[in-house]
Amino acid sequence: MSRPPASPAGDDLWARFRGATRARIGLERAGDAMVTRDVLALQLAHARARDAVHGRVDFAALAAQIEPLESLLVHSAAPDRATYLTRPDLGRRLDAASHARLQALKAAAAPDVVIVVADGLSAAAVERNAIAVLKAVLRRLGGLAVGPVVFAAEGRVALGDEIGACLGARLVVELIGERPGLSSPDSLGAYLTFAPRTGRLDAERNCVSNIHADGLSPEAAADKIAWLAKAALERGLTGVGLKEDAGPALPGAAGAALPPRPRSE
């Protein structure tokens, strides 16, 4: 897209539009190509996205940040990153050792909520945002029985279903690195599934996405996640039947109270 000529006063007519979006609009041209500055910026954004996908999360460092909370590390059936990227199905289930370990931890009194932190498709998203979101969510889940925090390597969204089922949780909340784009390589997502078990469909989950420095803040995301978690446990469902309606909660608030049941239920 060619940038329109500047006004006689020298004003950039596209400046106010670029100030409202991170999209690449109104780019300058040098002949039939973009100017060098914009080409280099695009290449840098692409490199950051690739680094996010191929990066590795330091789960030991993350676990240290939440001590003395109990945590454990599990691994999906994808043995390495290359396999994970080419075999999504393996990232959706635990390896045999992790499955057995979680089954052995299953308590007689099942937790209300288990929180899983998985690397997903962006290591940068997890390392920059996951702990802040995790701590903010835990502050809002007072009164609920929360199981150990589970860190999952080479994990996809559906891996949380098996983890939650192994631990007997009523609800699983999975924080996971989202597929990076050229404007946000470090976006974190949160997926909530009631009565987790292997085979759950995406339509049976709720998602809070776009959590990063230029998107949804950890506090605002935690308000939404906590509202959904409490609503899911009260109503016994997640997914298309549960609409998030937390309202404009103030940052740092203890979490919004649940509204009355929708008339459609």
| Percent of the chain whose predicted confidence (pLDDT) is above 70 | 88
pLDDT at position 247, please? 63
- Planar angle of CA 179, 180, 183, nearest 5 degrees: 145
For residue 7, is it within any domain? no
Among the listed residues 210, 209, 260, 253, the one whose alpha carbon sits nearest the alpha carbon of residue 235: 260
Residue 24: pLDDT over 50: yes
For residue 252, being part of any structural domain is answered with no
pLDDT at 257: 46
What is the model's pTM? Answer: 0.84
Three-state SS letters, the chain: CCCCCCCCCCCCCCHHHHCCCCCCCCCCEECCEECHHHHHHHHHHHHHHHHHHHCCCCHHHHHHHCCCCCEEEEEECCCCHHHHHHCCCHHHCECHHHHHHHHHHCCCCCCCEEEEEECCCCHHHHHHHHHHHHHHHHHHCCCCCECCEEEEECCCCCHHHHHHHHHCCCEEEEEEECCCCCCCCCCEEEEEEECCCCCCCHHHEEEEEEECCCCECHHHHHHHHHHHHHHHHHHCCCCCCCCCCCCCCCCCCCCCCCCCCCCCC
What is the DSSP pairing of strand 29-30 with strand 188-194? unpaired
Closest CA to 140 of 177, 107, 113: 113
Q: Between 248 and 18, name the one with better pLDDT.
A: 18
For residue 119, is it within any domain? yes
User: Residue 130's domain is classified under what CATH number?
Assistant: 3.40.50.11240
Could you report the per-residue pLDDT of 63-115, keeping only the tens digit for each?
999 999 999 999 999 999 999 999 999 999 999 999 999 999 887 778 999 99
Question: Could you report the per-residue pLDDT of 228-259, keeping only the tens digit for each?
Answer: 999 999 999 999 999 877 665 544 444 444 44
- Are the beta carbons of 74 and 150 closer than 8 angstroms? yes
Average pLDDT over every residue of 38-62: 91
Answer left, alpha or beta for residue 154, where phi above 0 means left and psi between -120 and 50 means alpha.
left
Q: pLDDT by residue (tens digit) across 131-186?
A: 999 999 999 999 999 999 999 999 999 999 999 999 999 999 999 999 998 888 99
Say what the pLDDT of residue 11 is: 59
Question: In this model, does residue 18 exceed pLDDT 90?
Answer: no
Residues 30-48: what's their mean pLDDT? Answer: 88
Residue scoring higher pLDDT (234 or 27): 234
136 within a domain of the structure (yes/no): yes
| Mean pLDDT, rounded, of the chain | 88
Domain extent at residue 173: 58-235
Portion of the chain with pLDDT greater than 90, in percent: 68
| Cβ-based neighbour number of residue 248 at 10 Å | 7
Note the pLDDT of residue 156: 97
* Position 83 in a domain: yes
Q: Is residue 117 part of a domain?
A: yes
Tell me whether residue 2 is in a domain: no
Structural domains of the chain, count: 1
The more confidently predicted of residues 26 and 125 is 125
Q: 195-235 pLDDT, tens per residue? A: 999 999 999 999 999 999 989 999 999 999 999 999 999 99
* Inside any domain, residue 19: no
How far apart, in whole angstroms, are the C-alpha atoms of residue 124 and residue 52? 5
